[in-house]
Amino acid sequence: VKEVLLENVTVFNVQWWNPDEKSWEDGWDTRQSDQHDRIPSRIRITIKCTDPEGHSHTFVTETRVMLTQPLSW
């Protein structure tokens, strides 16, 4: 079953909060030495879409990440 949650998405961006730099940053790689086996404590999701009339809308939310360890499948 396929369900569309939001149509005409033009941007889908996930960022993580870097407490050392006090800024939102792109990219997280648990294979990097400074991020090895760590999960970001906060993320921000930004979605931009266009409605049928051609108007652009931006939705942004932030949340704490409750995982304490990376998932290993």
Question: Can you give the pLDDT at residue 38?
Answer: 73
Question: Can you give the pLDDT at residue 67?
Answer: 79
Q: What is the mean pLDDT of each run of 10 residues along the chain (73 residues)?
A: 92 92 86 71 95 96 84 70
Query: H or E segment at 19?
Result: none
Compute the CA torsion angle 9, 58, 47, 7 (nearest 10 deg): -30
